[in-house]
Structure 1
Amino acid sequence: MIALATIPVMSVDPWRNRARRAVAARLRPNGETRPHYVVCGNDALTYRLVKELVSASAGWVTVIVPNKRRSEVADLARIKGIQIIRADRLTEETFRAAGLAGAECLALVHQDDVGNIHAALCAQAVEPRIRLVMRIFSSRLGSGVKRLFADCEVMSDSAMAAPAFVAAALGEPAPTHFRHAGRTLYVARREDVRADTVVCGLADTRQRNNPRVLPANPGDADLVLAEATGQPSGTVLAARKLARQRRRRRPVAAVVRGLRAFVNRKTGVATIAVLAVVAIFGTLLARTQDLELWKALYFVLLTTITGSDVELDTGWGVQVMQVILTVAGLALIPLITAAVVEAVVNTRLALNVGRLRTPRLDHVVVVGLGNVGTRVIRQLNDLGVEVVAIDKDPEARGAAVARQLEIPLIVGDVAQEEVLRSASVETCQALVVVSTDDVSNLQAALHGRALRADLRVVMRLFDGDLAKRIQRAFNIAVSRSVSYLAAPSFAAAMMNRDVIATIPVDRHALLVAEVPVAHGSALDGKVIGQATRPDAVRVIALHKFGEPRPIWSPQTAYRVQGGDRLTVVARRAGLGWLVKQTMPAPPEMTAPTKPPA
């Protein structure tokens, strides 16, 4: 994943921040004086976010969790160096007990938009100047919430992770782009862009399921960050190719799907058998009468449907064929009636439960219509890719979206192989499994592979180690964790690093950040080469102090001065290292005295 962040050299009012920290220090254990961060949540994102903050040595972390721990989420008590407070309600009293007064930031990451807003209002009553990072699913609600608070960042983990699943389903880089310093940059394959538009090599993905991120030799990277020149991305091209193929096959496929959807297997076989009898004996009878084509068709149809008049003067062969056609006509009329009634009943059932029985071809099957699944089906639909959705809950969050977009929705449990069969998994482009249950996701993936050995499977898993082992053992193309993809962006926002974009690279997380170089820092006066580390950090632009435009792809011999800004692509640990090199050593935290007027 790649994210853009901005790291300030100092706050606007350093004396006020020092005073707040001094007040909060009285509530901290063992004389702790580092910045205080408070996280409220009880799911996978909470766990990953806390680990990110601790690994970055961002400060002292307090986590507020409910009294009852969710069994599917790792125990936060395993993370050393944090303080855990248990409370079922996020009230003013809870925040005071957690020492929110004087804290740097509060993250509200419960999966409850309204609950997070209520908690933010309570927190603001305790600490009016607290920085808020809120998890909000609804983008429309999020834009309104930002206007309610002075310092608030609204983020959606599903919005960050969905492009990764969409890209993996289509077998292309994530359709991510962002604008920085007057340029629009996006991720693409090197062969799809001109050499002069490449800004940075991101990863060598030629080795299956084991990409090399930020290789020492940028030329080895086949996945690059490039400047947009108006040409569509690889993901858009892949979606257009699928749409063209579907249009070419649409006339024939529509007829076949219509015939298959009209009746069930038994009724269809019986109808076909009767029609075959009519066709064979009708042709023979027409030849015995030496009739033209139209007269032959007219004679056969009337004989079949209404029966023929008794003709004792004709030969026995003609009489036998007339009898067979009359009997076939008696069988054909009730079969047609049964097929029409069955089609009407099936249509009503489809409208009531959202289940369509028409088979599909070259589509994408999405299992799980929670936050992530809802965004995945919407993005695939926007790209013109045909989608079939599956969820065991007919009232899931994305069920209404599927009906609105006229996406077929199958209500059923993917633990049953027949449910996947009804979604035409054997003929689909990819199977995307994004429910919140790792066991169900794994079952769906294995059932899909049992139905088709070469099926591309994109699976959501929380446990990173399990994901790696499943990829190796079952050769499942991609397994991703939403919390793993989103946690770095949430952590960067908490540390006041403004996240601009998120780009996944397989299961790895990268950050693209603009980092100011402080006067007196370890990097002040050094060259660009000392800000670069193979496989960890790469500088893509240098913005000299006072200059209106940055220098893109600067040479390693360029010298950096205090006040300059570096735009880098980095792994999480690499960015943490660079921040330490660009920031001055923090002063001793003593009770501040107000400066003289």
Structure 2
Amino acid sequence: MPTLPLRRNDRRRHLVVCGDSPLAFRLVDELINRYDEDVTVILRSKQENYGPRIAALSRVKVIEAAAPDNNAFQQAKVSTARALAVLGSDDAGNIHAALLAQDINPDLRLVLRLFNMSLGHRVRTLFADCAVLSDAAMAAPSFVAAALGREGPTHIRVSGRTLYVVRRDEVDADRIICGLADTTDHTNADLLPVEEHSSDLVLAFTNGSGVERAVGHKRGRWVAAVRRNFGSVFNRKVGVAALSLFVLLAIGTTMFATFGGYTWWNAIYETALDVAGAAQPLDSLPVINKITQVMVTIVGISIIPIITAVALDAVVSARLAAAAGPQGPFRDHVVVIGLGQVGVRVIAQLHDLGVPVVGIDRNENARGIPLAKRLGLPVIIGDASRDDTLRAAYIGTSRALVTLSSHDVVNLEAALTARAVREDLLVVLRLFDNDFARLVERRFNIDVSRSVSFLAAPAFAAAMVERQVVGTIPVGRRVLLIAEVPVGDGTGLDRLTVREVEQRFEVRVIGLQRRTEQRLDWQPSPEHQLVPRDRLMVVATRSGLGQILAGSISPGQ
């Protein structure tokens, strides 16, 4: 939905944030330092959760209240505020708070954090000016991509078109929209480098060929699934025994053909009859044939119980699987620890991609448990920091471990325990503190760390200042934003060319909607001169987005 540029006197009206979570802290920090806003925060206590960190920020007024109710909103002066963000973990409580705030200030812009986005899309229509966002939905693709060994979420839907992040050498040049980052230095990627051709990570558009690759991947996953099921029935001991018996049969056939005077076809025929128990004892047979016949007959008798055991095991396993979900052993799967708001989305997306998943959570009532059961995914209830819990999830044969609990120490402990079981395991770690994450990656050789609040806060902040962020692209522990930017009359963007906008701000212009057209031009001319009511679609760094948004506001507004 198009948004109007803010009037200058409106910009000085304060913003209100409800919450004391990591997302609330990141959001307030973003509003103060990126957008130069005054913020009032309603939280339970300055001494609990992220209350101390929030209270320590400059230009923040803190209101302590048990809940964001009418009294708290009056203290926070919601009646004169420009926007309100409600960031609680309870969807119903967030909607209730938004309804109370709208009664106080009908013109208030609302930004709601909801987990259930289907409900969110319906709720949004109840308010005059409301954005509904899910930090879990924004962050989940990054964890999925990291677990699969990719850079960034695979696909992003923007204005009716599907874009995706890919390595430059993996896509045709005519499908590249723009360069995103030079990731040569894995610890400090260069976002939107001046020399765009130096970007090895690019944004491209799909042309349908990805469907064929997806079919191929599905076939490969089907073959992998058959292999896993075969392995679950024919365990190691049964396999060794069966192989030994078949080797003896091959030896018997060779002896019939080599020493017994049979042709190869007759040798095979004789062996098959002896295995079936149709051997005929004859005194006139040569000694070598008698020995071979006895050996083959005994092998045939031994094969029968093995075949019977395998058949019974397969039937029992199938019935147990139908009653209690899939059974191990598992191979090439992803182990997901923590089935909360982010974990439930991660297991759903991995399942959609055809990737086997085993979940672990210590809480049998975790949000993701019902979904896992519905999808037939195995879940272990237990402490993920324990060696036996991880072994029960077959961590030794997994392709990756993703730790998604809301506690940094729990995630780190589980990751280190898993690494003790298997040193080369790909580990994707959820951590809040960016500096801590950097140290963990270096000191403990952890592959990837991500912060949900770090990935989502820029989009929430942009929504509060009435700008539409339509997508996020994580690059390592940093993030790029895809956003719509209007060109106001007499602004810093007016009369600039597309090329000049890219040179002046940390952005790449990927689309242009001219004021006289409804469609989005995905390949605007670099020499096109912007005029009021044009709209740009840009990829920007967080600082670049703040700069270009500031430039889009008219001096007299």
Corresponding residue to 1:247 among 222, 225, 229 = 222
Residue 8 of structure 1 is matched in structure 2 by 4
Residues 583 and 294 (structure 1), Cα distance of their counterparts in 2 relative to 1, 3 Å cut:
closer
Corresponding residue to 2:174 among 196, 199, 205 = 196
Residues 62-101 of structure 1 correspond to what in structure 2 (within 5 A)?
A: 62-67=40-45, 69-71=47-49, 75-101=53-79
Matches of 1:51 and 1:122, distance apart in 2: 26
1:147 pairs with 2:122: no
Residue 153 of structure 2 is matched in structure 1 by 174
Matches of 2:376 and 2:92, distance apart in 1: 28
1:470 pairs with 2:445: no
Corresponding residue to 1:137 among 115, 130, 138 = 115
Q: RMSD over aligned Cα, in angstroms?
A: 4.0
| Preserved CA contact (<8 Å) 1:65 1:86 | yes
Matches of 1:514 and 1:452, distance apart in 2: 45
Matches of 2:98 and 2:451, distance apart in 1: 27
Residue 482 of structure 1 is matched in structure 2 by 452
Higher relative contact order (CA 8 A, sep 6+): 1
The range that moved more, 116-125 or 501-510, is 501-510
Q: Deviations over 1:536-561 (max 9, x none)?
A: 22223344443555554555554333
Matches of 1:552 and 1:486, distance apart in 2: 26
| Preserved CA contact (<8 Å) 1:357 1:422 | no
Q: Deviations over 1:200-229 (max 9, x none)?
A: 111123433432211111111122222321
| Preserved CA contact (<8 Å) 1:370 1:435 | yes
Residues 468-547 of structure 1 correspond to what in structure 2 (within 5 A)?
A: 468-533=438-503, 536-547=506-517
Matches of 2:3 and 2:183, distance apart in 1: 30
Q: Deviations over 1:74-123 (max 9, x none)?
A: 62112111100000022111111110002111111111111111111221
1:566 pairs with 2:536: yes
Matches of 2:172 and 2:277, distance apart in 1: 69
Residue 313 of structure 1 is matched in structure 2 by none
| Preserved CA contact (<8 Å) 2:485 2:535 | yes
Q: State the number of aligned residues.
A: 521
| Preserved CA contact (<8 Å) 2:20 2:50 | no
Q: Deviations over 1:501-541 (max 9, x none)?
A: 23322221212222222222233333444422489222233
Matches of 2:230 and 2:533, distance apart in 1: 68
| Preserved CA contact (<8 Å) 1:186 1:226 | yes
Residue 258 of structure 1 is matched in structure 2 by 233
Matches of 1:516 and 1:127, distance apart in 2: 26
Residues 350 and 97 (structure 1), Cα distance of their counterparts in 2 relative to 1, 3 Å cut:
farther
1:211 pairs with 2:194: no
Residue 545 of structure 2 is matched in structure 1 by 575
1:229 pairs with 2:225: no
Residues 103-118 of structure 1 correspond to what in structure 2 (within 5 A)?
A: 103-118=81-96
| Preserved CA contact (<8 Å) 2:153 2:164 | no
**Amino acid in the other structure paired with 1:569:** V
Residue 29 of structure 1 is matched in structure 2 by none
1:362 pairs with 2:332: yes
Residues 272 and 212 (structure 1), Cα distance of their counterparts in 2 relative to 1, 3 Å cut:
closer
Residue 373 of structure 2 is matched in structure 1 by 403
**Amino acid in the other structure paired with 2:148:** L
| Preserved CA contact (<8 Å) 1:203 1:214 | yes
Q: Secondary structure at the match of 2:163?
A: strand
1:45 pairs with 2:23: yes
Q: Secondary structure at the match of 1:509?
A: strand
| Preserved CA contact (<8 Å) 2:112 2:131 | yes
**Amino acid in the other structure paired with 1:85:** I
Matches of 2:51 and 2:232, distance apart in 1: 43
Residue 430 of structure 2 is matched in structure 1 by 460
Residues 531 and 228 (structure 1), Cα distance of their counterparts in 2 relative to 1, 3 Å cut:
same
Shift of 1:462: 0.5
Matches of 2:504 and 2:182, distance apart in 1: 13
| Preserved CA contact (<8 Å) 1:109 1:135 | yes
Q: Deviations over 1:43-93 (max 9, x none)?
A: 111111111111123532110000374447762112111100000022111
Q: Secondary structure at the match of 1:75?
A: helix
Q: Secondary structure at the match of 1:359?
A: coil
**Amino acid in the other structure paired with 1:361:** R
Shift of 1:392: 1.1
Matches of 1:447 and 1:139, distance apart in 2: 35
1:187 pairs with 2:165: yes
Which ranges in structure 2 are unaligned for 5 or more consecutive residues? Answer: 253-269, 279-297
Shift of 1:493: 0.9
| Preserved CA contact (<8 Å) 1:6 1:499 | no
Which ranges in structure 1 are unaligned for 5 or more consecutive residues? Answer: 22-32, 285-291, 301-324, 588-597
Residues 427-442 of structure 1 correspond to what in structure 2 (within 5 A)?
A: 427-442=397-412
Report the identity percentage.
Answer: 43
Residues 272 and 139 (structure 1), Cα distance of their counterparts in 2 relative to 1, 3 Å cut:
same
Q: Secondary structure at the match of 2:475?
A: coil
| Preserved CA contact (<8 Å) 1:6 1:496 | no
| Preserved CA contact (<8 Å) 1:242 1:362 | no
Residues 250-399 of structure 1 correspond to what in structure 2 (within 5 A)?
A: 250-260=225-235, 357-399=327-369
Q: Secondary structure at the match of 1:501?
A: strand
Matches of 1:242 and 1:183, distance apart in 2: 23
Q: Secondary structure at the match of 1:579?
A: helix
Residue 288 of structure 1 is matched in structure 2 by none
Q: Deviations over 1:551-591 (max 9, x none)?
A: 5455555433334333321111111111222222356xxxx
TM-score (norm 1): 0.76
Shift of 1:401: 0.4
Matches of 1:141 and 1:543, distance apart in 2: 30
